[in-house]
Amino acid sequence: LLYHILHIYVYFFSIAPNWEARIMIGYNENGKPKYKTFTSKKRTTAAQRLADYIANKKSSESENIYNGTVENWLNIWLSQYAVKSIKVSTRVSYEGIIKNHLIPHIGKIKLAELSKSNIERMYSDLLESGNSNKKGGLSIKTVRNVALCLHKALQTAVECEYISKNMADIAKIPNEKISKLKKKEVTPLSIDEQIKLMNYCDNSTYCTIIITALHTGLRLGELLGLTWDDVDFNKNTIAVTKQVNRLHDYSENATSKTRLGIQYDTKTYSSERIVSMSRELSSLLKKHRIRQKEHMLKWGSAYNNLGMIFAREDGYYIDPDTFRENYYRILDNAGIEKHTFHALRHTFATRALEAGVPIKVVSNILGHATVQITMDTYQHVLPNLQEDAMNQIADYIYAEKVL
């Protein structure tokens, strides 16, 4: 099916006693040309067979060709193909990518006419000014997610024989744009701010979440998704396997587009992990469980016994947005400048590295896919640690010399 895109090379050979007509129809898995061959004792017959082959291919392809736009195909792909094999969270992500990035940039182009340059221009625009909510461009990670979504959609179109080539295979994100992107600087709480916050916190559920975050580095969704059966007080461990999120409700009887619920998958495969608890955190959670049982008695049969560690007083899930509002209020009342909740995760990691915890261990606790991610994220801490390490080595050497 590639003959109409590739240059058509037709060869005639006189191979006694036959004539041979040959046309290149594509490449094999090793990158070598593939040919369709027709032979006859007469040159005119070989040529006619080749002509008939080309005519039949054109006729067959015209019947199968997809005349819709990229926007049409993306919507068909998501609703009829992708939805069968992806998680709900991935579907939500793809919907956002298609609506906010792909359709505005390449949606009106005919699927069969989408080119490498169209895609690369889109990548460049997204990196330069693709953030619709704020000034500036998207992060390189977000643009790569856009590229992944587009590649999957186009690959399905290839498999359906609507297009002959996946242009996302050869389109590249401009290197010059990548080099200009600045990684967001991590802003953890200072030690003084951390102590001030911990001293301010009382026994409320919101404050207990904050203290737990400072002790474990868990993400907000992971914390709100913890159930009591995730905690082993004998081994002092917490199993991180799920999270609370605002999920799109695709059921026919849905009264709203989203609902709070447990998402039984974490951010990445490596995010599923076992995290050890300190003695202080273990004691804190035991006291929290006692207070929660008091809430259960107060609400009686109206209590939503979902088994959540961190829940509303009636036992139902805590909305992440509601928690953030209360978190910022707590910071303000404690006299601490505004930090995102994610800063508590960075604060935990920074304190751990400053305390001499090996970076591999920190990476495992945080659930990073690779140690390199941890090193890149906390590179602001590493120079100081290196200086301390060099001083320790020097102290050891000179102590040995004195002895």
pLDDT in tens, 37-66: 888 888 888 888 888 887 776 555 545 557
d(CA 110, CA 96): 21
pLDDT in tens, 326-337: 999 999 999 999
Q: What is the mean pLDDT of residues 11-34?
A: 67
d(CA 222, CA 266): 8
Sheet holding 237-240, edge to edge: 231-232, 237-240, 273-276
Q: What is the mean pLDDT of the chain?
A: 83
Q: What is the mean pLDDT of residues 230-258?
A: 81
Q: 21 falls in which pLDDT band (50, 70, 90)?
A: confident
pLDDT of 401 above 60: no
Mean pLDDT lowest among 49-53, 160-164, 267-271, 361-365: 267-271
Query: Whole-model pTM?
Result: 0.63
pLDDT in tens, 335-346: 999 999 999 999
Check residues 276 and 66 and name the one with the higher pLDDT: 276
Element (H, E) at 263: strand 258-263
Q: What is the mean pLDDT of residues 312-322?
A: 95
pLDDT of 230 above 90: yes
Q: What is the pLDDT of residue 2?
A: 41
Check residues 209 and 48 and name the one with the higher pLDDT: 209
Element (H, E) at 276: strand 273-276
pLDDT of 182 above 90: no
Check residues 385 and 267 and name the one with the higher pLDDT: 385
Q: What is the mean pLDDT of residues 255-259?
A: 69
Mean pLDDT lowest among 189-198, 248-257, 351-360: 248-257
Ranked by mean pLDDT, the top range of 36-45, 154-163, 233-242, 394-403 is 233-242
Q: Give me the residue label for tokens 């390449």.
A: 106
Q: What is the pLDDT of residue 202?
A: 95
Complete DSSP assignment for 16-43: TTEEEEEEEEEE-TTS-EEEEEEEESSH
Q: What is the pLDDT of residue 42?
A: 84
Check residues 131 and 366 and name the one with the higher pLDDT: 366
Contact (Cβ atoms closer than 8 angstroms) between residue 15 and residue 5: no
Contact (Cβ atoms closer than 8 angstroms) between residue 1 and residue 61: yes
Q: What is the mean pLDDT of residues 282-299?
A: 96
3-state SS assignment for residue 362: helix
pLDDT in tens, 77-94: 998 888 888 877 788 889
Phi-psi region of 173 (alpha: psi -120 to 50; beta: other; left: phi over 0): beta
Q: What are the phi and psi torsion angles at 68 (to 5°)?
A: -75, 175
Q: What is the mean pLDDT of residues 201-214?
A: 96
Check residues 1 and 33 and name the one with the higher pLDDT: 33
Q: What is the mean pLDDT of residues 190-209?
A: 96
